[in-house]
Each structure stands twice: as structure tokens, then as C-alpha cells.
Amino acid sequence: MSKPYSGPLKAVILDWAGTTVDYGCFAPVAVFINVFKRQGVEISIAQARAPMGLEKRAHIRAITQQPEVSAAWERAHQRVPNEDDIDKMYQDSVTVQKAVVADYAELIAGTLRVVTECRKRGLKIGSTTGYSQSIMEVLVAAAAAQGYSPDAVVCPSDVPAGRPCPYMIYQNAIQMNVYPMAAVVKVGDTVPDIEEGLNAGTWVVSVTQSGNSLGLSAADVAALSEDELSAYLAPIERQMRAAGAHYVIGSIADLPPVLEDIEKRLHSGEQP
């Protein structure tokens, strides 16, 4: 049996919307509300956000399984939603999302600085997402135009299943030639991000302020008092810790000290 890994970190795997781009994770929400409205069903922002982090077809299915949404669908269609409905809404969502995703592609403050610092430390930069490959082609190009190009981009369609399964992280590791998983840090803003990292055996860092759970723009966050922001973030932090995150931070800008702490823990023999 090999000894527990005690060397340096080798890679950071970042989520996209709510973590590196699209502060507040608005792009998917607008699209989900739109595609359900096309089917005669009104859903709330909270209902659209609830399954965030999942592969988008699974996300739509999860929305339809919410009791209030299922009841609204039955009123509109005289039946419960089925897989054909989910497939149609998914295809609609891909079309709409491709058209608008570049409008929500602004990098979250601190992303370029932190990625540069990571690379200076010798870390590779991977990424996972709930978006499809066709949407990611647009988003990756928009991010590259702002200076952000991760070493690997893995979508749910590249692997047997998306989050919470660990396969996208494994595929990142293969593409970047990185192992063991104890040398990898997963960063994201949703519970499925956390589950993905834990299932893969990585360290997990959850971001709260820029992500889906808070769901506010950078301008809206800036307008809050420190006490107001703390009150909003406290239950989100509790949720992320309860889900198993090893660290909880406000945004990617706060990541470097966490990486230093993880390396100290590795050197002392700790594992994720």
C-alpha cells in the first residue's frame, strides 16, 4: 500500500458560471425561465436556481419535479411533464443559451490574477461545467478574449455523466496528466460542485458571494452594508459546509491563501 500523498498541489479545477464568469450566475436562470414560459408554465427565479450545478437536461428535469412546478404543468397541459417535454425544453434551452451566453461571460473580479498566481506556482488549470459543448464553445471564446483560457474544459457530454458524478474531474486529470486526486482542488459555487469534488477525492472550495445561491450582481452586492451581506451569506456558508466543502470563500479572489493552507495540510500528512 502506497503512502498518503504529501507533495505539492498540482491542479485547480474551476467551475464556470458563478465562479469564474457571470457573477451571480444569471445566464442559466434567464434561459430556464424562458423555456418553461414557452410551455405555458411560469417558474420563479428560486425554482430555476434550485438545481444549479447539474447537467442542464438533468437541471430541467429537477425543475419539473418540484411539486409547485409539476402542479402548474398539469394545470397547463392536463398531464405531468414527461421525458419528451424535458428533451424539447433542453433543446430549446441550448438554442437560447448559445444566443445569450456571451452576454453573461464577463470574468469575475480576481479570476485572471488568481489564475496567473496558480500558474506561477506550477498549477494546471482545469474546468468543469453543466453547459453543453456547443454552449461552451461560445463561452470559452468569450473568456479567452478577456485573457482566461484553462488548460482543460470538460462538459457532461465528454463523460458518462455530469455532476455529482466525478467523471469530469477525472477527465480533467487525464487531459492535464495530473494525479493523485489529493493534489487537486475543485472550486465551485453549488452543492453539486461540492459533491463532484468529494466523489472524485479532491479538496473542495466553495464560493458564496459570486455564486448561484446568493444570486446577486456585483453591483447589488456592493450596495449592501457589511452586516447585510454577512446576513445573506451566513446560511449559504452553513449549507456549503454541511455539504462537505473543506473551505468556504466569498469569491475566487480569496483562493490563494486557501491553496497555501491546503499545501501545509498535505505536507503534514492530511488528505482531503
Q: CA-to-CA distance for 155 and 130, rounded, in angstroms?
A: 7
Active site residue 15: yes
* Secondary structure E strands in the chain: 11-14, 124-127, 184-188, 203-207, 247-249
Q: CA-to-CA distance for 116 and 84, rounded, in angstroms?
A: 45
Element (H, E) at 68: helix 67-77
Helix axes 133-144, 83-100, angle to 10 degrees: 20
Environment class of 250 (CB within 10 Å of its CB; exposed 0-12, middle 13-18, buried 19+) = middle
What is the grid cell recorded at 56? 442542464
Integer angstrom CA distances of residue 170 from 161, 194, 197: 12, 15, 10
The catalytically annotated residue of 10, 15, 22, 98 is: 15
Active site residue 151: no
> Half-sphere exposure (CA, 13 Å, Cβ side) for 39?
31
- Paired residues of 143 in beta bridges: none
For cell 448559445, name the residue: 98
DSSP 128: B
DSSP 5: P
The catalytically annotated residue of 10, 56, 98, 186 is: 56
Environment class of 151 (CB within 10 Å of its CB; exposed 0-12, middle 13-18, buried 19+) = middle
Which are the catalytic amino acids?
15, 56
